[in-house]
Amino acid sequence: MTWARGQDDVERLLADGELEPVPPNIEHAERLLDEARRHHDSATALEGADAPGCLQLSDDCARKACLALLAAQGLRSTSRGGHVPVQDAVRAQFGGDQMRVFNAYSRLRRRRNNSEYPDATTPTVTAEDASDAIDISGKILDAATKVLGSGALSPFRS
């Protein structure tokens, strides 16, 4: 079974050099999910003590959970696109009505980016931001784990 949803978007990301094909690797995908779980656990442990750290770890959790889906399909982001193609590929393929949480990754990624590269007007990361980030990343991790464990995910073929 090939994964048809979002195929045009993924093919565009491949053609633009923002994603590249690699051998599909379930073991690597599972390792990324394990790392994502540890990041989520660490962010949860820091909640209330280090809001910017929670935001960073939560973003890392969500990104690695998304990377796991791509690794299982034989896709990875290039240095040209960075984190944005990961967001775009996952949202195109897995976002939507049934898994809206993948749509929330872009908000989390932008908030983390603003925190990492602030200007004079960038607001400080609050405890509420951290709590929201932990919630979003946990839902993304759960959804990615569910998709990967479903057996319905096959290597991406154009």
The domain limits of the chain are 13-148
pLDDT 10s digits, 41-100: 999 999 889 999 999 999 999 999 999 999 999 999 998 867 788 888 998 888 765 567
121-139: pLDDT as tens digits = 988 999 999 999 999 999 9
pLDDT category at 3 given cuts 50, 70, 90 is low
pTM of the model: 0.90
> Worst-scoring range by mean pLDDT, 34-38, 50-54, 75-79, 102-106?
102-106
Q: Return the percentage of the chain with pLDDT > 70, whole number.
A: 94
SS3 content of the chain, % helix, strand, coil (to 5): 65, 5, 30
DSSP 8-state code for residue 50 = -
Residue whose structure tokens are 């951290």: 130
- Cα distance between residue 70 and residue 40, in whole Å: 19
Q: What are the C-alpha distances in Å from 63 to residues 1, 56, 158?
A: 25, 11, 24
Residue-level pLDDT at 7: 87
DSSP state letters, 105-118: HHHHHHHHHHHHS-
Determine the pLDDT at residue 79: 84
Alpha-carbon span 135 to 58, nearest angstrom? 9
Output DSSP code: residue 11.
Answer: H
Correct CATH for 13-148 of 1.10.10.60, 1.20.120.330, 2.40.70.10, 1.10.287.130? 1.20.120.330
Considering only residues 152 and 3, tell me which one the structure prediction assigns the higher pLDDT. 152
Residue written as token pair 């989390």:
108
**75 strand-pairing partners:** 21
